[in-house]
Amino acid sequence: MTDDLVSALRAIVDRLTELEIPYMIVGSVAALAHGRSRATQDFDLVIDVDATRLRALVASLPERRFYVSEEAALDALQRQTMFNVIDLESGWKIDLVPRKRRAFSSVEFSRRQALELLGLRVFVASLEDTVIAKLEWSRQGGGSSRQLEDVRELLSLAGDRLDAAYVQHWIAELGLESEWNAVAIAT
């Protein structure tokens, strides 16, 4: 990973911390924190935010460095979808995802871990929650093989560290058996 990623990540995390907006890194960069390395062109953060703090976050991002649409951010908050921030200095795309209001998302967020990543102390989704989220993203992406490959590698790296009962519970709860079976058959 490049210094540009560290710079972009630090800039966003610093603003979230200053504004007291809880966050966790998810996706490929979370997988990186758990040992899986692959090329990525963006990074994803789940943020626990209301409209007031979201407006403050958007306002805190200097226009000379970041492109972000307040309208898109507020729409994403309402719809519980993601919006993008582009770091114009580094070219990194940052996907910010307002935390969904559902049981899994609440539990996932409560299990986030403070870890050292690329020289920064940040909050990252747990290994188990990264696996579950990638299974869910695979389903949403029509069976994304890239997400499933990430899951296979994370499972291989995890070994006995994985809380299998927790993963199985959420696979059943979220209806991810098909995606899990695709991973289990290939491993």
Q: What CATH number is attached to the domain comprising 57? A: 3.30.460.40
Handedness of CA 39, 88, 137, 50 (dihedral sign): positive
Same domain, 70 and 154: no
Tell me, yes or no, whether 26 and 107 share the same domain: yes
Query: What does the DSSP assignment read for 119-135?
Result: TEEEEE--HHHHHHHHH
- Phi then psi for residue 132, to 5 deg, are -60, -45
Residues 113 and 55 in one domain: yes
- Residue 117 shares a structural domain with residue 176: no
**Rounded to whole angstroms, what are the CA distances from 176 to 28, 46, 135?**
19, 21, 7
Both 67 and 121 in one domain: the answer is yes
My answer on whether 103 and 151 are in the same domain is no
Residue 94 has pLDDT above 50, yes or no: yes
pLDDT of 79 higher than 90: yes
User: Do 85 and 146 share a domain, yes or no?
Assistant: no
- Torsion angle of the four alpha carbons 113, 115, 120, 122, in this order, in degrees rounded to the nearest 10: 0
What's the rounded mean pLDDT across residues 134-152?
85
84 plus 137 within the same structural domain: no
Span 20-41, mean pLDDT?
Answer: 84
The residue segments making up the domain with residue 167 are 128-186
Q: How many domains does the chain have?
A: 2
Sign of CA dihedral 132, 136, 139, 141: negative
Contact predicate 79/68, CB 8 Å = no
Band (pLDDT 50/70/90 cuts) for residue 39 is low
Is there a single domain that holds both residue 119 and residue 133?
Answer: no
CB atoms inside a 10 Å sphere around CB 68: 19
Together in a domain, 8 and 100: yes
As a whole-number percent, the residues of the chain with pLDDT over 90 amount to 67
Residue 172's pLDDT is 97
pLDDT digits (tens, 9 = 90+) for 147-176: 899 899 999 888 889 999 999 999 999 999
Last residue within a domain, chosen from 125, 155, 175: 125
pTM: 0.90
Residues 11 and 36 in one domain: yes
Instruction: Note whether 43 and 96 are same-domain residues.
Output: yes
Q: Has residue 41 got a pLDDT over 80?
A: no
- Where is the domain boundary, 78, 104, 125? 125
Angle 130-133-139 (CA atoms, 0-180°, nearest 5)? 145
**Average pLDDT for residues 49-77, to the nearest whole number?**
96
Lowest mean pLDDT across 26-30, 45-49, 110-114: 26-30
pLDDT at 1 over 50: no
